[in-house]
Amino acid sequence: MKTLQALSLAILLVGSSVVSAQAQGAGLSGSLETSQTKAFAKDPSKALLLGVFPGILIHGYGHFYAKDNTWGTALLAGEVLSLTAITVGLVIKENPEDYQDSWLGSGARSSGKDMILYGGLLFGLTWLADIFHAPTAAREYNQEHGLQPAISLNHRGNPQVQLAYRF
C-alpha cells in the first residue's frame, strides 16, 4: 500500500511539473528558436509519430510539437487524472475494508474496480486523441502561418525537400 501511495505522489509531482513547465513556456528561449518556429513548417507525419512515442508517456506531445498548447495541456491533464484514478482505484481495491466506513460503503471493492477501468479508458482515449489529432493540428499551424515545406534545387538542378530539426 505504501508503494502505491508513493507511486501516486510521484505521478502527481511529475504531471504537475510538466504542466507548469508547458504553461511557463519552458524550453529554449532566444531569437534562434523564435525564428525557427516561424520559418519551418510542422510536419504532420512527425506530429503523429511524436503522439505515438513519446506520446504514450507524455500525452499531448504531438500537439505541443504542433504548437497547439491548449489541446496538449488538456490531454496531459487527462493523463494525470487517469493515472491518479487508476492509482486510487488500486489502493481502494487492495484494502476495501479500510473504506467501508467512508462514503463508498459496502461497494468499496467495486468502486475501486470502476476507478481502475475508467482511469484506463481515459488514459487510452487521451493517448488516441493525441495520435489522431496531432497531424491535423500541425496542418492547421502551417495554414495559420502560411508555411510550406522548404524546397530548393540541388547541384544538378533537381528539386529537393529540405528538412530542419531542432535539437
Between 53 and 156, the more confident residue is 53
Instruction: Copy the grid coordinates of residue 33.
Output: 528558436
Tell me the pLDDT tens digit for each residue of 65-112. 999 999 999 999 999 999 999 999 999 888 888 776 676 667 777 888
The pLDDT value recorded for residue 7 is 55
Mode of pairing for the β-strands spanning 150-153 and 159-162: antiparallel
The pLDDT value recorded for residue 11 is 61
Residue ranges of the alpha helices (H) in the chain? 2-23, 31-39, 44-52, 61-65, 69-94, 108-145
In this prediction, residue 148 has a pLDDT band, given cuts at 50, 70 and 90, of: confident
The rounded distance, in Å, linking the Cα atoms of 90 and 44 is 37
Instruction: Copy the grid coordinates of residue 64.
Output: 505541443
Contacts of residue 36, defined as CB under 8 A and 6 or more positions apart, other chains included, come to 164, 166
Question: Residue 64 to residues 50, 55, 79: CA-CA distances in angstroms?
Answer: 9, 10, 15
Contacts of residue 1, defined as CB under 8 A and 6 or more positions apart, other chains included, come to 91, 94, 95
Average pLDDT, the chain: 78
The pLDDT value recorded for residue 167 is 45
